Amino acid sequence: MKAYDVVGYAIEGAFYCTEHAHIDEHDVACGHATPVFAGDQGAGDMTCDGCVAEQVAARGPFYLDESTIQARRVTAVPTSGQTRSGYGGRLPTAWQLRIGGRWYRVRVMCWSNSGSTYVQRGGKRLFLGSYDPNYDTTRPLAD
């Protein structure tokens, strides 16, 4: 890499590498984007905001695709996983969802007065988001 090679662009106070800077010649001409060259002072210390966003997205949170739910059922709430306080990260519920031919327990992560529902699948917590099995009228209630 030569000192005059463009390594990215400064756009509205943020730095984007050449892969994430979706600009055209007009953006540079009107001053919307300023090229950053390899020889510029501090250019090697800059972190691309687009690369950081990709890294954060890879860590999650992940949400369950509702179209993968085949059925739902209500069972007895298992006593394992319950806590005396009612708070915790893996609290079981009475609900199970059938996804990919297998039943998964819906769990709740509850701290303070707020809880988030999820299923554990393939080592990942898949949060249900706005999906609520209580109000699902499109999938059968299995025995």
Beta strands 124-127 and 62-63 are parallel
Terminal-to-terminal C-alpha distance of the chain? 65
Quickly count: other Cβ atoms within 10 Å of residue 8's Cβ: 26
In angstroms, rounded to a whole number, what is the distance separating the alpha carbons of residues 34 and 27? Answer: 8
In angstroms, rounded to a whole number, what is the distance separating the alpha carbons of residues 39 and 18? Answer: 15
pLDDT tens digit at each of 143 positions of the chain: 566 677 778 887 788 777 777 777 777 777 777 878 777 777 777 777 777 777 767 777 889 999 999 999 999 998 888 888 888 888 999 999 999 999 999 999 998 888 999 999 988 899 998 888 888 888 878 87
Nearest CA among 108, 112, 109 for reference residue 94: 108
In angstroms, rounded to a whole number, what is the distance separating the alpha carbons of residues 115 and 112? Answer: 8
Global pTM reads 0.61
Task: Provide, for the chain, the percentages of residues in helix, strand and coil under a 3-state DSSP scheme, each rounded to the nearest 5.
Answer: 15, 40, 40
Q: What pLDDT digit, counting tens, does each position of 107-117 carry?
A: 999 988 889 99
